[in-house]
């Protein structure tokens, strides 16, 4: 730690000597936080929103209206979000347009944002170009551009021995071939203090403070791309990550020996359309992912073992592609997509009470999107999709309740559609829209065929289906933006996890509803002060873990001598963890502060303090402690 701090201080004082008069450019995402004004209502988040703050993807997303996050630990721990009441399993995750084939809920805590240029978020609907199913929307991570020559080095050190190193380089290899690579490393001991309530949440006499054990985490990740520019742009990309860490368990059931590891590689080839007036595009992909965990309960309880460690996990091989056709004229834009994917899953379990199988999962989806714009201030956009999925047991057995199930094959046909009316010219100050759609979510592989200890499979699950409606109005000037959106979501055959004794099983439950309104404001009040704020007011019905009110605000002060100060605040109302509203999480607020120094356009120091007032905050109904107050110091240098 002392060595890293010394190096950062040396860089700081060296940069003081090189400091010059800098014309500071305001991060665009600070001025125009909110949705991009286009037919698909995309929320675009640029890297300036998270650079230097060492935030996870979920933490960044949760600063926007209608999005909540839940975390089960420190760096690298499982983290998910909900969008307008729709939980994480309803939200698709994509990288450069390739939808990841998740086992269940996408783990946003495992994503290192340092290798991405921006994040695109589609709230409440899935555009036709993404072959995904769900009612919450899509998160698309966009890699850094390969066109510009140069690079960047980013280093950071923070609380609980948290370390981050990121290196990025781009260069033209010829007049028509461009290359870029990102390599990232991050790690943390995650040994933060927490209050152990000894399994008696309401009895405070036996509580004691201790440190989190066996919670360390490390990850190496990267992405690389080669872009060939000719009559058509051809892009070859490769993503990879390797992560490992301890499984520390619940606060009063500390697991000292359990470990987990996840390794994945994803390669894709994209042929971009030359001219969308009448052209085609193609994107193919192939990947492999292995996720494993090992543990031994007798070692944790007695200190010795009588048999081998229990292990569980899954090896997934997948491949596929999507062909696209585009046509447009002065009043009409259309796009057609045909998607095909194939997965082969192999369980990696050594326990007789867990499923052991080889399973195939194939999906074909056809989708359409069209925009009709008869006049310059009004257009109608429609999306439709048809999906056929099939799962087949190739060998082995599926455990449904500590016994072999009779599953052999499952197939399902599902349909979705959405229509929207949009008002306002591209350069108009005012805009408005209305949209209504029907969506579906096919159960995930994890829900249908669990490989986790204590969670049984349920191949008979029905798809979740529902409707979504939204209407909004926006006003913008050169330096300000104001928007409000009303939304209403309904979900039928909602899949929940029902626990009886020591066994948990996914089942279809009753209908869930949520309706509410989002309000957003962003403005450059003065040349030295920029503010943004948003609020969400919603009424969730049969949807636990959702607050009725959520607020966020941010202020950016441009100070003399190339300094900048950021002040962030967030708050939520009471949250209920159960349908009966007996498990109450009290209302709370959190405050963060950052101080940056940018002596040259390519050098920046940033100190960030998170949860200034929340060092000891802990959810009484969530037995996975999270860090309280966290500090970090970072240095970035472009070249």
Strand residues in 144-271 grouped as ranges (E): 150-158, 162-172, 177-188, 193-196, 208-211, 217-229, 233-246, 249-250, 253-254, 259-271
Q: What is the structure's pLDDT at 357?
A: 87
Checking if the pLDDT of 21 tops 60, the result is no
Checking if the pLDDT of 379 tops 90, the result is yes
Rg, the chain, Cα only: 25
Q: Using CA of residue 484, residue 486, residue 491, residue 496, what is the dihedral sign?
A: positive
Q: What is the structure's pLDDT at 275?
A: 80
Encoded tokens for 19: 């400091």
Q: What is the structure's pLDDT at 164?
A: 96
The CA-to-CA distance between both ends of the chain, in Å, stands at: 26
| Contact by Cβ (8 Å): 299, 271 | no
> pLDDT tens, 72-113?
888 999 888 999 989 888 899 999 988 886 666 788 889 999
Q: 387, 483, 380: which is closest to 436 by C-alpha? A: 380
Domain ranges of the chain: 2-638
Residue listed under structure tokens 């970035």? 636
Checking if the pLDDT of 424 tops 80, the result is yes
Mean pLDDT, residues 213-228: 93
For residue 621, name the pLDDT band (cuts at 50, 70, 90): low
Burial, 623: exposed, middle or buried (Cβ in 10 Å; 0-12, 13-18, 19+)?
Answer: middle
Q: What is the structure's pLDDT at 297?
A: 58
Checking if the pLDDT of 341 tops 90, the result is yes
SS3 of residue 14 by DSSP? helix
Q: What is the structure's pLDDT at 556?
A: 96
> pLDDT tens, 145-172?
766 678 899 999 999 999 999 999 998 8
Q: What is the structure's pLDDT at 637?
A: 94
Q: Running DSSP on this structure, what letter comes out for residue 90?
A: G
CB atoms within 10 A of CB 394: 11
Work out the mean pLDDT of the chain and round it to a whole number: 85
For residue 4, name the pLDDT band (cuts at 50, 70, 90): very low
Checking if the pLDDT of 196 tops 90, the result is no
> pLDDT tens, 550-559?
999 999 999 9
Overall CATH class of domain 2-638:
mainly beta
Give the DSSP letter string of 563-627: EEEEEEEEEE--EESSTTS-SEEPPEEEEEEEEEEEEETTEEEEEEEE-TT-TT---TT--S---
Percent of the chain at pLDDT above 90? 51
Give the DSSP letter string of 97-165: TEE---SSS--GGG--GGGEEEEEEEES---TTS----SSEEEEEEEPPSSS-EEEEEEEEEGGGEEEE
Q: What is the structure's pLDDT at 474?
A: 93
Checking if the pLDDT of 570 tops 90, the result is yes
Q: What is the structure's pLDDT at 206?
A: 83
């Amino acid at each position: 730690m002392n060595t890293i701090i010394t190096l950062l201080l040396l860089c700081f004082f060296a940069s003081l000597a090189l400091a010059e008069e800098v014309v500071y450019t305001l991060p665009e995402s600070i001025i125009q936080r909110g949705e991009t004004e286009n037919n698909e209502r995309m929320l675009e988040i640029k890297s300036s929103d998270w650079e230097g703050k060492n935030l996870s993807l979920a933490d960044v997303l949760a600063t926007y209206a209608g999005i909540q996050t839940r975390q089960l630990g420190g760096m690298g721990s499982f983290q998910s979000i909900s969008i307008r009441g729709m939980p994480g399993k309803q939200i698709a995750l994509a990288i450069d347009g390739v939808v990841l084939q998740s086992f269940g809920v996408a783990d946003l805590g495992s994503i290192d944002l340092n290798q991405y240029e921006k994040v695109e978020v589609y709230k409440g609907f899935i555009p036709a170009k993404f072959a995904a199913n769900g009612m919450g929307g899509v998160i698309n991570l966009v890699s850094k551009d390969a066109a510009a020559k140069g690079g960047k080095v980013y280093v950071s050190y923070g609380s609980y021995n948290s370390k981050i190193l990121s290196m990025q380089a781009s260069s033209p290899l010829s007049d028509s071939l461009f290359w870029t690579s990102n390599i990232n490393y991050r790690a943390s001991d995650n040994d933060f203090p927490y209050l152990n309530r000894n399994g008696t949440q309401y009895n405070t006499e036996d509580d004691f403070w201790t440190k989190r054990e066996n919670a360390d985490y490390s990850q190496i990740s990267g992405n690389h791309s080669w872009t060939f520019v000719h009559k058509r742009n051809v892009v070859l990309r490769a993503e990879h990550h390797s992560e490992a860490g301890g499984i520390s368990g619940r606060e009063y059931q500390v697991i000292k020996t359990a470990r987990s590891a996840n390794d994945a590689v994803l390669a894709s080839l994209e042929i971009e359309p030359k001219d969308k007036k009448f052209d085609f595009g193609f994107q193919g992909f192939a990947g492999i992912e292995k996720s494993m965990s090992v543990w031994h309960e007798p070692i944790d309880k007695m200190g010795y073992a009588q048999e081998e460690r229990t292990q569980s996990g899954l090896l997934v091989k997948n491949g596929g592609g999507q062909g696209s056709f585009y046509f447009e004229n002065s009043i009409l834009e259309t796009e057609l997509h045909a998607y095909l994917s194939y997965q082969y899953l192999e369980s990696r379990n050594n326990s007789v009470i867990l499923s052991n199988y080889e399973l195939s999962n194939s999906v074909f989806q056809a989708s359409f999107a069209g925009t009709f714009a008869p006049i310059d201030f009004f257009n109608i956009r429609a999306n439709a999709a048809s999906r056929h999925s099939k799962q087949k047991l190739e060998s082995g057995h599926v455990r449904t309740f500590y016994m072999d199930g009779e599953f052999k094959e499952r197939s399902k046909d599902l349909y979705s559609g959405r229509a929207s009316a949009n008002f306002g010219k591209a350069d108009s100050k005012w805009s408005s829209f209305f949209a209504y759609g029907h969506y579906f979510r096919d159960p995930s592989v994890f829900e249908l065929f669990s490989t986790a200890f204590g969670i049984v499979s349920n191949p008979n699950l029905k798809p979740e289906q529902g409707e979504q409606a939204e209407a909004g109005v926006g006003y913008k000037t050169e330096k300000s933006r104001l928007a409000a959106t009303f939304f209403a979501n309904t979900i039928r055959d909602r899949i929940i996890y029902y626990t009886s004794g020591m066994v948990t099983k996914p089942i279809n439950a009753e209908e869930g509803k949520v309706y509410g309104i989002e309000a957003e404001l962003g403005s450059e009040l003065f040349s030295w002060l920029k503010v943004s704020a948003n609020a969400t007011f919603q009424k969730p019905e049969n949807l636990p873990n959702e607050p009725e009110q959520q607020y966020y605000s941010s202020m950016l002060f441009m100070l003399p001598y190339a300094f900048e100060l950021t002040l962030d605040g967030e708050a939520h109302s009471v949250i209920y963890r159960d349908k009966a509203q007996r498990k109450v999480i009290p209302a709370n607020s959190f405050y963060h502060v950052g101080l940056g120094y940018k002596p040259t356009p390519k050098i920046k120091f940033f100190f960030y303090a998170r949860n200034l007032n929340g060092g000891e905050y802990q959810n009484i109904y969530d037995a996975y402690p999270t860090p309280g107050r966290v500090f970090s110091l970072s240095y970035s240098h472009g070249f």
